[in-house]
Amino acid sequence: MTDETIGQLDRLKHTIGSRFETRNPLRANAETTDMTAEAGQSDVAVSESEETQPTSSGSAEMSASDRPLGTPRVDDAVIEARDLDVFYGDTQALNEINMDIPEQGVTALIGPSGCGKSTFLRSINRMNDLIDVARVEGDLYFHGKNIYDKDVDPVALRRKIGMVFQKPNPFPKSIFDNVAYGLRVQGKDDDVEEKVHQALERAALIDEVEDQLDSSGLDLSGGQQQRLCIARAIATDPEVVLMDEPASALDPVATSKIEDLVEELAEEYTVVIVTHNMQQAARISDKTAVFLTGGHLVEFDDTNKIFENPQSDRVEDYITGKFG
């Protein structure tokens, strides 16, 4: 390793050290989730049915040859990918992905442009269904239920697994109506006002917008718009929040607010975040998955292991900025 590389690793270790000292313990129990077509229609989102019992020991084995380096299995998995492939027409964007995402906390997905991070994120709540040429093979379990089974309703699934995109995309509606939107669509319109306030509070936006809830969401700054989108995503109380580079278009102050928010949310939700910012991944995540070219997941482990002592030379080269 060059001196420069060692310096970079030392700086990352320092960041990680302080982060891991301050991290809050994760909540132990989770409700089981029903996302079948029936649940989608009747909007009964939570059940204790046998079919959807969490399978902490893993829904499917991961054969040694298919595993990425590191420790891709966790005891408290809420999401489990097994031999997951995604194709866009003839192009293979993800190649035999095997990994678990633990309940609560933050899992970061990192890797160079085009390696399939957004594709993987979208496969978790079946957003790839909306892309005509996309095809998914393999298995992806949410609380032990394969979300690609025929009886899973993607709309019900997306109520449990919300998403925030890179570019803030508020609806051309008032701030209040943006946050209330999902609640109203789901018919959860009792106590809307209280729920909207709570979501804006959890998204650390309430102080800035309390007196202008009737103004358009589009009149907010970029960072405020992104927090509004996060408020919208959490208003309906999902279990998992997927975030695709949520701070990449923001200035350092707004970025830092989003990072604080992600850490707060992770006490309650499972957060999966794509980022190109190594320091950000090191600061805010508990687990890190490193994807490299060709849609391969090369290594998955505790964030401190990935940044302090990765097993793969290619991963070390990537996180120290030698390529990508």
Ligand X SMILES: Nc1ncnc2c1ncn2[C@@H]1O[C@H](COP(=O)(O)OP(=O)(O)OP(=O)(O)O)[C@@H](O)[C@H]1O
Q: Which residue has the tokens 């310096």?
A: 7
Instruction: Tell me how many residues contact Mg ion (CB under 5 A).
Output: 1
113 binds ligand X (CB under 6 A): yes
Give the shortest CB-111-to-ligand X separation in angstroms.
6
Are the CB atoms for 268 and 105 separated by under 8 Å? no
How far apart (Å, rounded) are the C-alpha atoms in residues 309 and 6?
Answer: 11
Q: Which does 131 bind (CB under 5 to 8 A by kind): Mg ion, ligand X, none?
A: ligand X
CA distance linking residue 245 with residue 108, whole number of Å: 10
Contact 160, 147 (CB under 8 A): no
Q: Which residues pair with 299 in a beta bridge?
A: 69, 290
Span near ligand X by CB under 6 A; candidates 44-52, 74-82, 117-125, 278-286:
117-125
Q: Taking the complex as a whole, how short is the minimal distance between the CB of residue 112 and Mg ion, in angstroms?
A: 10
Question: Terminal CA-to-CA distance of the chain, rounded, Å?
Answer: 18
| Distance from C-alpha of 282 to C-alpha of 13, rounded to nearest angstrom | 8
Q: Tell me how far, at minimum, the Cβ of 168 lies from ligand X, in Å.
A: 16
- Partner from ligand X, Mg ion, none binding residue 294, C-beta < 5-8 Å depending on class: none
CB of 47 or CB of 248, closer to Mg ion: 248
Q: Which is nearer to ligand X, 88 or 165 (CB)?
A: 88
Least distance between ligand X and beta carbon 117 (Å):
4
Among 133, 137, 185, 212, binds ligand X (CB under 6 A): 133
Proportion of the chain in helix, strand, coil states, percent, rounded to 5 = 40, 25, 35
CA distances 18 to 99, 103, 282, 303, 319, Å, are 27, 22, 10, 13, 19
Rounded CA-CA distance 113/119 in Å is: 12
Interface residue with ligand X, options 82, 117, 145, 283 (CB under 6 A): 117
Nearest distance in Å: CB 157, ligand X: 19
91 lines the binding site for ligand X (CB under 6 A): yes
- Find the binder of ligand X among 115, 175, 213, 289 (CB under 6 A): 115
88 contributes a contact to ligand X by CB under 6 A: yes
Nearer to Mg ion, 8 or 107 (CB): 107
Which region among 36-44, 106-114, 151-159, 222-230 touches ligand X (by CB under 6 A)?
106-114
DSSP SS3 for 299: strand
What span, in angstroms and rounded, lies between the C-alpha atoms of 60 and 45?
A: 24
Query: Residue 8 interacts with Mg ion (CB under 5 A)?
Result: no
- Taking the least distance from each CB to Mg ion, the nearer of 118 and 224 is 118
The answer to whether 118 contacts ligand X (rule: CB under 6 A) is: yes
Q: How far is the CB of 274 from Mg ion (least distance, A)?
A: 6
Least CB distance to Mg ion at residue 320 (A): 22
CB neighbour list of residue 93: distance below 8 Å, 6 or more residues apart: 86, 87, 116, 119, 295
The residue from 52, 104, 118, 304 that contacts Mg ion (CB under 5 A) is 118
Decide if residue 148 touches ligand X (CB under 6 A).
Answer: no
d(C-alpha 199, C-alpha 230), whole Å: 8
CA distance readout (Å), 93 to 72, 113, 118, 190, 294: 20, 12, 10, 43, 7
Task: Please tell me whether residue 119 binds ligand X under the rule CB under 6 A.
Answer: yes
Binding site for Mg ion (CB under 5 A): 118
Residues at the site binding ligand X, with contacts judged by CB under 6 A: 88, 91, 93, 111, 113-119, 131, 133
